[in-house]
Structure formats: C-alpha cells, structure tokens
A = this chain, B = another copy of it.
C-alpha cells in the first residue's frame, strides 16, 4: 500500500465486521437496488455484491466509458470514478449527487490521447477529491499507484496491475478476488484490452511486444495479468466503437481477433494498422499529463 492512502483510512472498513444482515440494514432501500453485477456468462453473484453500486457511463464523441463505483453499504457511500471525461463531468456529478454518494477518487487508467480527463475539473468542483494515476505514467496527480497497490472505497477495493503497451504507464484496475468482493470480478482494462480489440501501440511509449506480455504473461503475480484472471471476469474497457459495453476474459481469450494470435502475428498486426495521427493528441496529452487542469482553484460544488 502506498503511503498516500493513509489519509483515507477512515474509508477503509474491515468487511468482516458486518454480517450480511447488518450490512443490508445499513443500506437505504433506494440505493441498495443499484447493483448491476449479475448478468454475464452465467456467473453467479455473491451475496456481498449488494454493497456495490456500479454504473457505466458513455461519452459519445470519443467513445469513452467512465465508470462509477461506490460502496453503498458504508454510511459515507464513498465513490470513485475511473476515466472521467472533461465534457461529461457535470453529468457525472449530477448522478453522484442524486445517488447521495461521496466522490473520493478520480482515477485514470493511463494518460489518454483522445480526450481530456475530467479529473482536474472534478477536483475544482468537488474539493477533497484526489486524482489518481500510475506512477509509471509520469503524469501529475495527487496519488500515484504501483503494481500491487489497492484503492479502497469502503469494503470494496481495486487492485492495480501494470498493463503497459498502449502507453508505458497503463494499468488495469481489478476488483478483489475474495468472496466478499463483487463476483464475478471486474477488470477495468483501459486501452490494454478492448472488446474484440486492443489499444494502438504506436505512440506515447507504446509497444506491441509489451502489450502482448501485459495481457498474456504468467511470469509472476503482478505480471499475472489479464488473460490469467478467472474466465468469468468482466472486462470493462476505456472505449468501444461498435456498441459493445462489456465482455469477459473467457470471451476475449476465445474471440479477440488480435490477442488470440501468437506474439509475432500480433506484433505484425499492430505494426500494419496504418492509423491516422490521433486528432486530439496534441491537446489531450499535455492536458492529461497534469490530470486535466490539476492546479485550477476550487469552484463551488455543483
């Protein structure tokens, strides 16, 4: 655990202190209803997933997904956003306010090249929110993560896995494996694994060799990355361009047209994509290297 988390110890509860009955009793009936974890590939959900409020949100112009997670079994209802977009910050905050959540972390999976992150704006609109990104990103932020770190909101936590290749600092956030964590597990893969695709590897320290290893490697625990997660793990990517919203590890292992290939074939595919220069990159990357608008003064809360 990096030292930055010590400030937030009050949000880190010990899940075993509450019985399932007690946990339920604490939940407001309206909020308790918002779990959307069941669903995919016939995987069952554990009783404890009822504490998770989860929403996937979409920004149409850059086809970016923002994820909202909160522990609604906790009286504070602590919440985090993964990959917020500057243009949809007001929408996200409206929803957070309506649901009675307390936004604690605004996290990024990496320094995006196709949109400006919302973390800077969020910090100005909700004083106290901490911007979070990997140390390897080289970006400015309030908190820096390294592989193996955990980010907790109430009883729910995300573990950090380094998945470089799209950029050198890409990480995947994965929910915990214990029975009291949401089941099936959820992996927020950024641009490392997209549904039936993957992020490009031709800029920002990208490397197709490294991306392949990030997805397939079983070399060590922290390199035991995406395709070695349980097959029913839900994959929530940073983008989708075809109208998909979620996949599973098992599905991508079987049907991803790039990542199912051997490494040399994958590298050849990636080096022959002939993609256009990203139209937003010259605006987005400099802004995102300082988490959007890192040092703007606080504004009134929405």
Contacts and interface: CB of A to CB of B under 8 A. Distances in A.
Interface string A22-50: 00000001101111101111111100111
A59 interface: yes
A58 B40 CA distance: 17
A40 B60 contact: no
Nearest to A64: B243
A176 interface: no
Interface in A93-108: 95, 98-99
A43 B50 CA distance: 5
Nearest to A182: B38
Given A57-B245, A243-B88, A251-B99, A44 B34 contact: no
Given A29-B250, A33-B231, A98-B255, A243 B44 contact: no
A29 B42 CA distance: 18
A72 B36 CA distance: 18
A291 interface: no
A216 interface: no
A66 B242 CA distance: 12
> Which has the most chain B C-beta neighbours within 10 Å: A44, A183, A242?
A242
Given A60-B243, A98-B255, A250-B30, A234 B36 contact: yes
Contacts of A213: none
A52 interface: yes
A232 B39 contact: no
Interface in A187-201: none
Contacts of A56: 245
Contacts of A32: 232
B39 A54 contact: yes
A41 to B, nearest CB: 6
Contacts of A99: 251
B55 A38 contact: no
B251 A55 contact: no
B40 A54 contact: yes
B33 A232 contact: yes
A66 B245 CA distance: 11
Interface of A: 29-30, 32-36, 38-45, 48-60, 66, 72-73, 88, 91, 95, 98-99, 182-184, 230-234, 242-246, 248, 250-251, 254-255
Given A29-B232, A42-B52, A55-B244, 9 more contacts: A30-B248, A34-B248, A36-B246, A38-B50, A39-B55, A41-B72, A59-B243, A88-B243, A91-B244
15 contacts: A29-B232, A29-B250, A30-B250, A33-B231, A33-B250, A36-B234, A39-B53, A41-B53, A42-B72, A43-B50, A56-B245, A66-B243, A88-B243, A91-B244, A98-B255
Of all A-B residue pairs in the complex, the 8 with the closest CB atoms, nearest first, are A33-B232, A44-B50, A58-B243, A30-B250, A42-B72, A39-B54, A33-B248, A98-B255
